[in-house]
Every structure is written in C-alpha cells, then in structure tokens.
Structure 1
C-alpha cells in the first residue's frame, strides 16, 4: 500500500538515510543534480529516484535554467511534519502524566487499604 497524503509522503521521504543526506546538503544552499550526487557511490538513476521521492514529498524543488538543473530544499514541508510530531508529543506527554497520577492514586489506595 502506498500512502498519498502529504504527511505520509514526507515521512516516507525522510525514512531513507540517503535522502536525509541530500536534504542536509541542500540545507546549505541550492545545488545542481551533479553536486548533490557527487558524494554518493550510486548510479545516476538511483540518485534520480531519490530526488523524485523528495520532489514528490515537496521537500525539494527542481528548476531548470539553460542546461543546469538546480535543486532547492523546501523547508516549509518540514513544518508540516514538525507540527504533527509536536502535537502528538504533547498529547502523549499529557497521557503519561495522567497515567502517572492514576498509578500514584492506586499505590496510595493499596498502601492505605
């Protein structure tokens, strides 16, 4: 099953270490496809596939000027993932706090009963 919603595409793109390295490189500024591919010991089609996934998730934008294809990191998409993680982190934290409080009450009742 392939997820098509934006958040799933972002997390799927971030799941691969090569794609995360590509984003790290692009976080320093735009680069050509060749510059991005240079440090990787993999074929051009493999790099192209990674870039396709990143573009599909909206994390990378490709522009063409003359013979140059430039890639740019689109940080806005990370905000979507970050907001989701933060919202759930808060919810889970609240649930663990409630569980701790409930367990403390149960322990107190056991000690008094």
Structure 2
C-alpha cells in the first residue's frame, strides 16, 4: 500500500459524516444497569472496588502553601519558581507540570525535611 492510497482511504468529507447516522444504540446504552457496567469492568480486568495502591494525593498548591504558613512570594522562592507560576497554579490558570507536582508531593509528604533540603525561602 502506498502512502497516497493510505491517506485517501482514511479521508471522509464532513458532508459524508453528517449524512451518515451514528452507529450508537442509545436505547441499549440507557438500558444498561450499573451491575452490568460493573460486570463489564471486572471482565476487562478492572476491579471497581480495589483500593488505589501506590498513589498519594497531593494537596492543591494553595492549601500546601497555607499549611506551611508562607506567602506566595516565599513559597515561590522555596520552590525556586517564579511567583507568577505560583499565582497561576493557585488561580487555576495552569496546573503544575509533572516535575512541579513531584516537588509539591515531596514537600507535602514531609515538610520539615523538604524545608531542610531546600533551605529557607529566600526573599523575592
């Protein structure tokens, strides 16, 4: 199969999509009971009653900062991030990236140790 034929065979126009009815059996979906949904999940290897293992919830940055009794500026200095980053996290504009979430998890798990390792927050 050439690239051209693969690309053309996968294309469908918007007109074609809108003209063809969806293949969704809404009556069957609505008739599915919670017990059937649970049985399907178990059959797929997912136990809805299992405890999540190996996960620790990290408090939101605002809560963690308040717990530590720090201002936004001091918290930003402690984490070595710009104060605007802390503001964006707290106001929900952007979530902490994976590295920042890891750092926040470490600070939340053992604040005293984290403060010793990271040092005293520097003045902004």
Which bracket does the TM-score occupy, shorter chain normalised? Answer: under 0.3
- Bigger share in helix: 1
Tell me the TM-score normalised to structure 1 length. Answer: 0.23
Identify which of structures 1 and 2 has the higher relative contact order when contacts are C-alpha pairs closer than 8 Å and 6+ apart: 1
